Amino acid sequence: MTKHIFVTGGVVSSLGKGLNCASIGMLLESRGLRVNLQKFDPYVNVDPGTMSPFEHGEVYVTRDGAETDLDLGHYERFTNAPISRNSNFTTGSIYSSVINKERKGEYLGKTVQVIPHVTNEIKECIRKLDNEDTDVVISEIGGIVGDIESQPFLEAIRQFGHEAGPGNVLFIHLTLIPYLRAAGEMKTKPTQHTVKDLMQIGIQPDVLICRTEAPLTPSMRQKITLFCNVSQECVIEELDAKPFIYQIPLMLVEQGLDSLIVKKLGVKANCHDLGKWMAMLNTLKNPAHSLEIAVVGKYISLQSAYESIYEALIHGGIGNDARVRIRRVESDEIEEQGAQNLLDGVSGILVPGGFGNRGIEGKIAATRYARENGIPFFGICLGMQCATIEMARNCLGLAGANSTEFNPDTPHPVICLLEEQRKITKMGGTMRLGAQPCKLVPETKTWKAYGKSDVIQERHRHRYEFNSAYAEAFAKAGAIVSGKSPDGELVEVWEYAKHPWYVCVQYHPEFQSKPTQPHPLFRDFIAAGLEYQKKR
């Protein structure tokens, strides 16, 4: 029987619920349990696919092509859970499903209501992850207790707990113990209040994870215990884990959270096996080398907009015993100040994915700077498209070359709309999405990076593609195709043979990188950066 953990949050958002869920998942896996994770987001959008990164941060794409919350990226980086489209639901997706059922007449003439119809739908979404191959499901409830829009989700998990019975469900509440500088004191009152809010809904938390800047004193622990109805051992202190999020599982294990969960849920578990994780952390904390990589994008002020990219770069560093320092460069600013001024001194340049016109010329200038100066370059999705435009303009003599996304009337549409996209009018969930096979060309850098695999699987999220009509002209200039869709129609990877490391991919390799298993292209990109740094 699958057991369930529900993780809620209180006091403020952004306390790291996603990272805590991922860390708990990782710890349970380290004890031989098979876990799965999911997140409920209380907003009304059906998925975050149509939201601006400024609103929502990165859109994370699952293997099966769902556009989801970036917390799922943490789940995949920390665990081996089979994350899929059943790992993320929103108020919008729940209501959309209920309304579809109502239109089909499935409610047999009943008045359709939040309780029971919407709450039943939420419970069904939770049970979608129940199966013989899963010991524990961790469900994260987005937002905080007290948000109006969270109410149906909290009511649903309360009912779920009641129906599953004691010992089968565990409620973990993540809360904040703020430090008031003026008073020189830490305060437990907001935690007492948020737990009261939860209890009013009918949920007694089993475990409290207290985010704090300084250690909890014994008297604070006593207060929390007394007012929140939890025993001392169930009050877990969590100090800020900066700069290494991968330390969080260790903070939890030191306080016995995993053993507590195993005991409370009555599951059979092995002793920990944290060897691989500890070795990874050791490299992360004490690397032999260090280098600086520039990421050139247009949402640079927001860490979460390129979360998976930044993490994958760090993983690439781990794979080379190196610390990766990331220089975040606004593409707009390159347009104003020039590439040389902003990119001088870096050992690698990465241009990530994106949409729309703003900052495009700055990104194109960055790809040119990397090409002309022999600096290792990694172009991802839009970054690949920018490199294609740059090479067409400056090496193939195709003045005005562009993507039809940015200039529909360009004389040289080296990037154009995918055939399958031409009739699409709706925006949500209609891109080329999810894992697709890609056939690699032997002896290329890409093929070697992937351990000489002939066919790989990588995740996509795009509407535009490399225009194959120009492939021959590119090859003559030294840009060779190193990966194609199996039918040979779509160019998925190209690399510039006359350069130490210049690899451009249409897909998003960052979604498959883990700290314990760096993605091969990120690993080789960082290796090339170290090589460049040595020679410079």
Q: How far is the CB of 27 from ligand GLN (least distance, A)?
A: 33
**Non-local CB neighbours of 26 within 8 Å, separated by 6+ positions:** 78, 79, 249, 277
Using CB under 6 A as the binding rule, whether residue 57 contacts ligand GLN is answered as no
| Catalytic residue selected from 21, 311, 510, 519 | 510
Closest CA to 466 of 490, 502, 440, 444: 490
Using CB under 6 A as the binding rule, whether residue 309 contacts ligand GLN is answered as no
Q: How far is the CB of 324 from ligand GLN (least distance, A)?
A: 21
Q: Tally Cβ neighbours within 10 Å of residue 117.
A: 19
Q: Which is nearer to ligand GLN, 281 or 382 (CB)?
A: 382
d(CA 291, CA 286): 14
The residue nearest ligand GLN at its CB is: 353
Q: Give the alpha-carbon dihedral of 341, 343, 347, 350, to 10 degrees.
A: -170
Q: Where are the alpha helices (DSSP H) in 135-188?
A: 151-164
Q: How far is the CB of 354 from ligand GLN (least distance, A)?
A: 5
Q: How far is the CB of 72 from ligand GLN (least distance, A)?
A: 17
Q: Which is nearer to ligand GLN, 77 or 459 (CB)?
A: 459
Binding range to ligand GLN, per CB under 6 A, among 63-71, 266-274, 277-285, 460-468: 460-468
Using the rule CB under 6 A, which residue among 382, 389, 456, 479 binds ligand GLN? Answer: 382
Active site residue 460: no
What is the DSSP-derived secondary structure letter of residue 459?
E
Active site residue 508: yes
Find tokens 């960052």 and name the residue. Answer: 510
Q: Which is nearer to ligand GLN, 306 or 447 (CB)?
A: 306
Number of residues that bind ligand GLN (CB under 6 A): 10
Q: Tally Cβ neighbours within 10 Å of residue 454.
A: 11
Using CB under 6 A as the binding rule, whether residue 381 contacts ligand GLN is answered as yes
Pairing of strands 35-41, 136-141: parallel
Closest CA to 60 of 532, 459, 389, 483: 459
Using CB under 6 A as the binding rule, whether residue 355 contacts ligand GLN is answered as yes
Q: How far is the CB of 464 from ligand GLN (least distance, A)?
A: 3
Using the rule CB under 6 A, which residue among 462, 484, 499, 519 binds ligand GLN? Answer: 462
Using CB under 6 A as the binding rule, whether residue 463 contacts ligand GLN is answered as yes
Using CB under 6 A as the binding rule, whether residue 354 contacts ligand GLN is answered as yes
Q: Which is nearer to ligand GLN, 37 or 490 (CB)?
A: 490
Q: How far is the CB of 452 from ligand GLN (least distance, A)?
A: 28
Find out whether 83 and 37 touch, Cβ atoms under 8 Å. Answer: yes
d(CA 47, CA 91): 9
Q: How far is the CB of 450 from ligand GLN (least distance, A)?
A: 21
User: Rounded to whole angstroms, what are the CA distances from 112 to 106, 121, 124, 128, 197?
Assistant: 10, 12, 16, 22, 27
d(CA 386, CA 367): 7
Find out whether 149 and 43 touch, Cβ atoms under 8 Å. Answer: yes
d(CA 33, CA 127): 18
Helix or strand or coil: residue 320?
coil
Find out whether 494 and 479 touch, Cβ atoms under 8 Å. Answer: yes
Q: How far is the CB of 474 from ligand GLN (least distance, A)?
A: 18
Side-chain half-sphere exposure of 525, counting CA atoms within 13 A:
34
Q: Which is nearer to ligand GLN, 144 or 381 (CB)?
A: 381
Q: How far is the CB of 431 from ligand GLN (least distance, A)?
A: 6
Helix or strand or coil: residue 136?
strand
Using CB under 6 A as the binding rule, whether residue 29 contacts ligand GLN is answered as no
Total residues belonging to the chain: 536
Q: Tally Cβ neighbours within 10 Å of residue 450.
A: 22
For the chain, how far is it from start to end, CA to CA, in angstroms?
A: 59
Binding pattern to ligand GLN, positions 399-438, x when CB under 6 A? ------x---------------------------------
Binding range to ligand GLN, per CB under 6 A, among 62-70, 253-261, 352-360, 469-477: 352-360
The two structure tokens encoding residue 469: 């009509």
Using CB under 6 A as the binding rule, whether residue 31 contacts ligand GLN is answered as no
Binding range to ligand GLN, per CB under 6 A, among 182-190, 350-358, 368-376, 447-455: 350-358
Q: What is the CA radius of gyration of the chain?
A: 25
Binding range to ligand GLN, per CB under 6 A, among 31-39, 91-99, 175-183, 458-466: 458-466
d(CA 178, CA 446): 49
Find tokens 């556009």 and name the residue. Answer: 67
| Catalytic residue selected from 21, 381, 386, 504 | 381
Using CB under 6 A as the binding rule, whether residue 461 contacts ligand GLN is answered as yes
Using CB under 6 A as the binding rule, whether residue 323 contacts ligand GLN is answered as no
314 — phi, psi (to 5°)? -60, -40
Using the rule CB under 6 A, which residue among 40, 464, 496, 501 binds ligand GLN? Answer: 464
| Catalytic residue selected from 4, 462, 508, 519 | 508
Using CB under 6 A as the binding rule, whether residue 143 contacts ligand GLN is answered as no
Binding range to ligand GLN, per CB under 6 A, among 132-140, 185-193, 349-357, 478-486: 349-357
Residues belonging to the active site: 381, 508, 510
Contact positions toward ligand GLN, by CB under 6 A? 353-355, 381-382, 405, 461-464
